[in-house]
Structures are given as C-alpha cells and as structure tokens.
Amino acid sequence: MLTHVPISPVSPERYRDIVGDRWADVEGGIVTAQERLAGRAIWHVNSTARGGGVAEMLHSLLAYARGVGADARWVVIGGNADFFRVTKRLHNYLHGSSGDGGGLGEAEREVYEQNLARCASELRELVRAGDIVYLHDPQTAGLVRSMLELGARVIWRCHIGLDDPNTLTRTGWNFLKPHIEPADAYVFSRRAFVWEGLDHDKLWVVPPSIDAFSPKNEKLDPRLVCAIVEHLGISLDGGRVPTYTREDGSVARVDRRADLDQEVPVGAEDPLVVQVSRWDRLKDHAGVLTAFTEHVTDDRARLLLVGPSVEGVADDPEGAEVLQEVRAQRSALPDEMRARIHLAALPMDDPQENAVMVNAIQRRADVIVQKSLAEGFGLTVAEAMWKGRPVIASRIGGIQDQIVDGESGILIDDPHDLVSVADAIDGLLADSARAQRMGAAAQERVREMFLAPRQLVQYVALIVGMLDARDDRGAV
C-alpha cells in the first residue's frame, strides 16, 4: 500500500542571488531547522508522486528541507478504485461541486476508513514516537488518529478549498472533520479556505510555491524550447536536440512524445494560447474551448489544451472521462476551426521529462489561460508568471493571490463569462508590448512571493511552532 519516494538533498544556497535581501530570512530558517529538528523524521504522506501541484511542490520542498539537514521523508499511500472514487468525490465536494453526483454516506465512509486502516498498519512500522507526520489532503485525513496514538506529532494540510463554501463543501467538511480535528496543526493555502469550527490556535496559512530550478521552471534556451515542442509533435518550429537538466545535474534527452489530437502542427508564426491543467471538469476545458472557438476574433491564433496522460495519474479516476469529453467537443467543430484546436496528453512515465515538456510549452505560448471554476491555489499560474508570460485566469481561490489584475495578469470575475475571457485573449494578442510588460511584472511578483525559499522558511517555522504549542498544552 505504501510507496517510498526517494529524495536527494539540494542546498537552497542556489537561491541566494535570486531572492537578494530576503536571503537573511532563509539563513535564519536553516539555523532553526538544524537546531530544533535534529533526531526527528518528518514523514510527508499523500496519494501520488506524480501529476498535480502537490506532488511537484513536495519534490522540491523536501529536497531543500533535506539540504538544510532535516530528515524529510515521503511515502505515497495506495488504494483501490473505490477508495479513489470516494476521495475524488471529496475533492469535488470541497470545491463546492457535486462531481459524479454520488453521496458521502456510511458506505463511502466504510470504503474510506478501511483503506486507510491498511495504510496506517504499514505506517506504524515506520513512524516512531516524536516523529512528525505531515498529511496532505482528503486522501490522508483518516490517518491522523492512528499516528497520534504512536506518539507522533501530526500536521494535516488541505491544499484545496472554496472562498464561499456551500452545502456540498460543508458536507465534505463534516465527512472529514472527525478525522482531522485531533491533529496538532491544520494548514491551509489561504485564510478564506479555513473550515468553520476548527481550533484557531492550531491554524496556519502557508501559500504554496514553485522551484525556479526544477525542470518545470528552469531557464530554457529559445532554440531548445522549439526543439522540445517540435519533438512532441505540436509544432514545426525546429531547433536543436531536445535535452534538459535533471534535478541531479545530469543532462537527459526528451525521448517520449505527446498523445496529440490535431490536424496540422502549430506554425512558427502562429499566436498560441495555452492552458495546462489536469483533465478535470473544474478546470473547465470545455469552457476554454468554447470561449476560443465562438468569441476569439483573431483568426491567426491557435488553442492548445495540455494535460497529463490519463494513465499516469493514479488518484484521479475522472481524467479519462474528461479527456474523452474534450476530444468529442473538438471533433464536432467545423473543419476550419478544428484545425486551430490542439489537445496534448503528455506522458507521465518520467516526471522530470514531463516537467520540461510543460516548461517548453509554456515558454512557447503567447498567452496562458487558467479558466478554472474552482481552484485551491493554481501553481500553473505561478509557473507561467515565472516564465514571463501574461496569464488570463479566474478570480477564484489562490489565483487571485498571485495575480494583480491589470498589472501581472488579467483576472476574470466570472469564470463562466466566456466573452470576457475571449476579449482578454484578443487584447493581449493585439498588443504585444502590453503582454510583455505584464509578463515582466508577473515574473517579478513570483520572485517576491512564490519561490521555494519563502515556503521553506514558513515550513520550518510551522513545525517548530507546532512543537512549541503542543509542549505548552502539556503533551508528551
């Protein structure tokens, strides 16, 4: 049931020049980690090592944590199809959506708890009293009590949420609250996501971050961008051999190709609008496609919708259905319009290779869209901003914390307003100088607020603060 994810230590020293005056805070966090966390293993537990922002964030955060001397470890829980059906439903409910339309009753609770009881049995063989267990998202909430019984300190982090909770959201909360309430700390990505009725003395708000040096975000020579996108089959831009730098510093070649739905490749001069996301109805691929085909007036532009291979994301059973729906929607278009729409499912066999594919696609884009209907934080927005690209996105969730509307991107007040989305696309494609200014401002905002060193400092402060608070409450 458990899979161990290897983590190689990486020194955060590489960020010294990027963060400038804020480096002193990083050095202070390093000293605190070395003094206070020695002898404790920090177990991060989630449901997938690939696909989605949480897995990407853990890869970099834990590498830097190990780089400063923390004994950070990562295990992934397994489960059967019924378990992931229930947890996907929980994910949708917490976003205020009915998802597959099913309920969260006693039958679902039994599926959920039985699966996690098996996972807990394996974790008990690994975790020692005094260790820290950091549980991520609904899939792991049912492990809180069993880890506390071992004498571990337990943190539960929720990466998803809704600004204005509805009945479905509260149903999801009520399903999970009995499991998470005993935890020593609760962590949310933004204050608006904090659940009603939780102990505010245990609450922490920590926005996610991106790693500027990961294959997903490292600088790429424009010729290499062309080479990777051409290798994937998306364009005919041409370029050199598609290579990239792996996290261990070695050089690798992009070998795998995308699974494409397209008539003809994107031309070198064609303006390209891109959305990168999981195949999830809450990402609203259908709405993006409709906005583009019915309301964008620039007939030179192409739309590229990008997501992971649906076989590569184990904890998302709806992915294949959504991709098939988007394919059917594209197929129904008139020939001339269909030729301007491209779908790309990227292989997930090698997460780092997948990451550099996304990197190159985002850098090839002229405009990037993230028209989600619900969003926890939306790391694809920060990734695109870091690459100096203008982003058009829904004013929801953590997206609105990243973009300053009109300065570092464009926020759409109502994600269902397809005309506004299209007008924003047309405006940026018609005014390249404005798009470049917006992209430059976007990159600077990420530098100031959403890079890994800031999260590392908060990560250390959170764990130390939780330990101190628990000691103050008289815990052993």
For residue 476, the model assigns a pLDDT of 38
Q: Which of 269, 213, 231 is nearest to 346 (CA)?
A: 231
Sites in the chain below the pLDDT cut of 50: 475-476
Which pLDDT does position 248 carry in this prediction?
83
Q: What is the pLDDT of residue 475?
A: 47
The amino acid at 375? E
Question: What pLDDT does residue 239 have?
Answer: 66
CATH 3.40.50.620 for the 2-209+451-472 domain, yes or no: no
pLDDT value at position 315? 61
DSSP 451: B
Task: Name the DSSP letter for residue 235.
Answer: B
Contact between 352 and 331 (Cβ < 8 Å): no
pTM over 0.85: yes
- Write down the H helix ranges in 124-166: 144-149
pLDDT of amino acid 395: 97
CATH annotation of 222-449: 3.40.50.2000
CB distance 79 to 309 below 8 Å: no
CA distances for 463 relative to 96, 392, 445, angstroms: 30, 35, 27
- Per CATH, 2-209+451-472 and 222-449 having the same topology is answered yes
Q: Rounded CA gap, 380 and 340, in Å?
A: 23
DSSP 439: H
CA distance 353 to 357: 6
The domain spans of the chain are: 2-209+451-472, 222-449
